[in-house]
Amino acid sequence: MIVAFALFLVVRGMNKLQRKEEQAPSAPPPPTKEEVLLTEIRDILARR
């Protein structure tokens, strides 16, 4: 019974690690049109 519980904990830990690896490589979404325009305005004001 103890061996089965230990094996359960090992498998559970491995599953958690696999889920974290699958979620990690998500790339950030591209900037919205509003963000691009605000960045341009910021750059123009910084040049003044």
Looking at residue 17, its pLDDT comes to: 84
Looking at residue 20, its pLDDT comes to: 75
Where do the structural domains in the chain lie, given as residue ranges? 2-47
How is residue 41 written in tokens? 């305005």
C-alpha to C-alpha distances, 19 to 9, 12, 29, nearest whole angstrom:
16, 11, 21
Cβ–Cβ < 8 Å for 13, 5: no
Tens place of pLDDT for every residue, the chain, 48 residues? 999 999 999 999 999 888 876 676 677 889 999 999 999 999 999 998
Enter the pTM of the model.
Answer: 0.43
DSSP string spanning the chain?
-HHHHHHHHHHHHHHHHHHHHHHTTPPPPPPPHHHHHHHHHHHHHHH-
Looking at residue 25, its pLDDT comes to: 65
